[in-house]
């Protein structure tokens, strides 16, 4: 007789209404695919992928409630009722006063950067994000990383690795002068650190400094619900608060946000900029008509805005966010159990393999994370993403690869798309690559684009 379970099983808090078949392929076929894709998982065709953990951006499964909302799209050019619904929902849950819709997150980053940053300014932030930093740089700014040192150490178990180092922040402000710091760029559930949260305790202290020097805080709210969940789990005093209450407390400590609704808000496309300052809003509202569309749709269809509004409401539900992060933790704990090196604590939206320790024989300028992502695809059909030296790009002053401390492969879990069985298969695929890691060789560029090179770069193996 089988052993009786020692603990209760868990199951996804939804049932499946629509299914999408996925394709299993042979190793030879996948080898051909990755060669054609220049060893860049971004350049693979999705239909050749078995389990797609490239990103959780725009890959979520929408609920029946969201799909129903799509049918209620008001596709008027101006004044769509879905815009007003979205505005109400953002005001209710995030509390920001003025909303400018955009087609996705980077469009909001573009607008806020162009308005607030002057040539030669400095923008401190808790680790960079690719598009965020690029827009800050294109506006003439210099991004300065002021995250705590622990964030750069994949083995450090600090529960709030996205916290800002107040000393680093104040040193920068004193060095360059507050007038050269247009805003503090604060992200929740910091992607590049491995999906690590910022604590409310830290954010309150950052707020004090922001008031002291008269510098606003602009919040990258892309993953605010996921951050709120980990505050509830880990920060003393928040156990009895709802996710919605914690989100509101975070947002109330900041002056505005940029949002990629493609993550927490459970849609396939969408975003917005939200601010409290009316002057800033008017400038943003004027800019959005130049780059995105009228200020009541900003690059989204009416139906898209309805889906964002409904998705945002679903994102604050406890059972949803618990299951979402629980699935990621399940995958992480499984591979950690086999001593496969990953970032700890396990993050919110993905499991981040530490490619330096996974492939210690490959120099960082031979792109161990890029190599590992390609290898995982070849062995298993699982698609992941590089977050290391390729993503970090070159230093604009020296022209050298930035060689970031974190050299990672991100297995990003789309929301509500895969089951626990898919996580089991993924974990076993990683184990197989890990067992054969000595044979893996590094990569070199055959094509390197100027901006955000990780998206379109091509490579070949070093022989």
Ligand X SMILES: *Cc1c(COP(=O)(O)O)cnc(C)c1O
Position of minimal CB gap to ligand X:
105
The nearer residue to ligand X, 77 or 455, going by C-beta atoms, is: 455
Catalytically annotated residue among 387, 410, 415, 416: 387
Site of interaction with ligand X (CB under 6 A): 57, 104-106, 129, 131-132, 187, 191, 220, 222, 260, 262-263, 271
Q: Is 416 a catalytic residue?
A: no
Q: Is 130 a catalytic residue?
A: yes
* CB of 239 vs ligand X, minimal distance in Å: 26
The nearer residue to ligand X, 44 or 189, going by C-beta atoms, is: 189
Q: Is 281 a catalytic residue?
A: no
Q: Could you give the 3-state DSSP secondary structure of residue 278?
A: helix
The DSSP letter of residue 121 is -
Rounded Cα gap, residues 170 and 163, in angstroms: 14
The nearer residue to ligand X, 216 or 350, going by C-beta atoms, is: 350
Q: Is 133 a catalytic residue?
A: no
Catalytically annotated residue among 55, 130, 412, 426: 130
Catalytically annotated residue among 122, 129, 238, 272: 129
Q: Is 434 a catalytic residue?
A: no
Query: What is the DSSP track for 335-389?
Result: HHTTT--B-SS--SSEEEEEHHHHSTTS-GGG-HHHHHHHHHHHHHSEE-EEESH
Q: Is 437 a catalytic residue?
A: no
* CB of 96 vs ligand X, minimal distance in Å: 17
* CB of 207 vs ligand X, minimal distance in Å: 20
Q: Which residues pair with 394 in a beta bridge?
A: 401
Q: Is 367 a catalytic residue?
A: no
Rounded Cα gap, residues 152 and 44, in angstroms: 30
Cis peptide before 345 (omega within 30 of 0): yes
* CB of 60 vs ligand X, minimal distance in Å: 12
* CB of 136 vs ligand X, minimal distance in Å: 12
The nearer residue to ligand X, 260 or 426, going by C-beta atoms, is: 260
Q: At 202, which helix (H) or strand (E)?
A: helix 200-213
The nearer residue to ligand X, 186 or 433, going by C-beta atoms, is: 186
Rounded Cα gap, residues 190 and 206, in angstroms: 16
Catalytically annotated residue among 52, 220, 255, 354: 220
Query: What is the DSSP track for 398-429?
Result: T-SB---S--EEEEE--TTTS-HHHHHHHHHH
Pairing mode, strands 98-102 and 271-275: antiparallel
By annotation, the residues acting in catalysis are 77, 129-130, 220, 263, 387, 454
């Amino acid at each position: 007789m089988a052993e009786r379970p020692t603990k209760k099983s868990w199951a996804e808090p939804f049932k499946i209404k629509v299914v999408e078949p996925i394709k299993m392929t042979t190793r030879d076929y996948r080898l051909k695919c990755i060669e054609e894709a220049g060893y860049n998982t971004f350049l693979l065709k999705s239909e050749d992928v078995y389990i797609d953990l490239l990103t959780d951006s725009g890959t979520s499964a929408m609920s029946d409630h969201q799909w129903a909302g799509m049918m209620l799209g008001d596709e008027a050019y101006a004044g769509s009722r879905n815009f007003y619904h979205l505005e109400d929902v953002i005001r209710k849950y995030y509390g920001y006063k003025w909303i400018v819709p955009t087609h996705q997150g980077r469009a909001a980053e573009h607008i806020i950067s162009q308005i607030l940053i002057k040539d030669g300014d400095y923008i401190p932030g808790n680790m960079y994000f690719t598009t965020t930093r690029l827009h800050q740089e294109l506006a003439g700014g210099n991004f300065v990383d002021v995250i705590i040192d622990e964030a750069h150490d994949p083995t450090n178990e600090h529960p709030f690795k996205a916290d800002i180092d107040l000393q680093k922040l104040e040193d920068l402000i004193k060095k360059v002068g507050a007038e050269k710091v247009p805003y503090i760029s604060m992200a929740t559930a910091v992607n590049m650190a491995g999906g690590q949260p910022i604590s409310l305790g830290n954010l309150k202290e950052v707020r004090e400094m922001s008031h002291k020097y008269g510098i606003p805080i602009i919040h990258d709210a892309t993953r605010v619900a996921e951050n709120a969940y980990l505050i509830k789990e880990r920060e003393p005093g928040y156990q009895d608060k709802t996710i919605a209450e914690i989100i509101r407390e975070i947002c109330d400590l900041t002056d505005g946000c940029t949002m990629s609704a493609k993550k927490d808000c459970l849609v396939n496309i969408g975003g917005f900029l939200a601010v409290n300052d009316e002057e800033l809003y008017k400038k943003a509202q004027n800019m959005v008509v130049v780059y995105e569309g009228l200020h009541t749709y900003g690059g989204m269809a009416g139906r898209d805005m309805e889906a964002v509004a409904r998705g945002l409401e679903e994102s604050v539900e406890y059972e949803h966010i618990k299951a979402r992060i629980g699935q990621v933790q399940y995958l992480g704990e499984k591979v950690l159990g086999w001593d496969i090196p990953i970032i700890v604590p396990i993050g919110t939206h993905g499991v981040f393999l530490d490619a330096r320790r996974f492939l210690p024989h490959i120099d960082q300028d031979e792109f161990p994370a890029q190599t590992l992502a390609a290898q995982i695809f070849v062995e298993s059909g699982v698609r992941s993403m590089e977050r290391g030296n390729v993503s970090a790009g070159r230093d604009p002053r020296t022209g050298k690869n930035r060689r970031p401390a974190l050299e990672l492969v991100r297995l990003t879990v789309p929301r509500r798309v895969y089951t626990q069985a898919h996580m089991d298969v993924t974990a076993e695929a990683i184990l197989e690559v890990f067992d054969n890691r000595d044979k893996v060789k590094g990569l070199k560029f055959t094509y390197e684009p100027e901006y955000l090179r990780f998206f379109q770069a091509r490579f070949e193996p070093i022989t």
